[in-house]
Amino acid sequence: MSDIVKTFQSGLADGKLLIQSCNACKNKMLYPRHRCTKCHANDLGWVEASGKGTLHSYTVVRAIPPAGFEGELPYGLGIVKLEEGVQLMARLKPGASGDWSQYACDAAVAFARPSPGPGDDRAVAWFKLA
């Protein structure tokens, strides 16, 4: 795992959703990169995101998950666009009904700050309805 992914992941372990910010032009980026997508500088830092976003799209995975997720079926996956302008793939917490039927495209969502399970080294952010 590269260092830039480790920074993102250690932020999640501390309950923080970190996004990259260019120290030269303040451009925000996610997924993590080695150079700014706007000015190409390599002087990049990290800032904590507000955790507020919009659900661009989502799905519920019910079969044939990737390796390591077999025991978690079914689970919700979404593309969340943060108010900082970057987007990421995220896990969606099930609602009170135990499923994901309350989610809809363009719904307001919020970073859910879970505690990672023991031995869970996956850099995955969780969101819930705001």
Q: Which residues bind Zn ion (CB under 5 A)?
A: 22, 24-25, 27, 36, 38-39, 41
Q: Which of 62, 86, 87, 90 is nearest to 77 (CA)?
A: 90
28 or 56, CB closer to Zn ion?
28
CA 106 to chain centre: 16
Nearest to Zn ion of 38, 122 (CB atom): 38
Q: How far is the CB of 92 from Zn ion (least distance, A)?
A: 31
Rounded least distance, CB 120 to Zn ion, Å: 33
Whichever of 13 and 39 has its CB closer to Zn ion, that residue is 39
Please report how close the Cβ of residue 44 comes to Zn ion at its closest, in angstroms.
Answer: 8
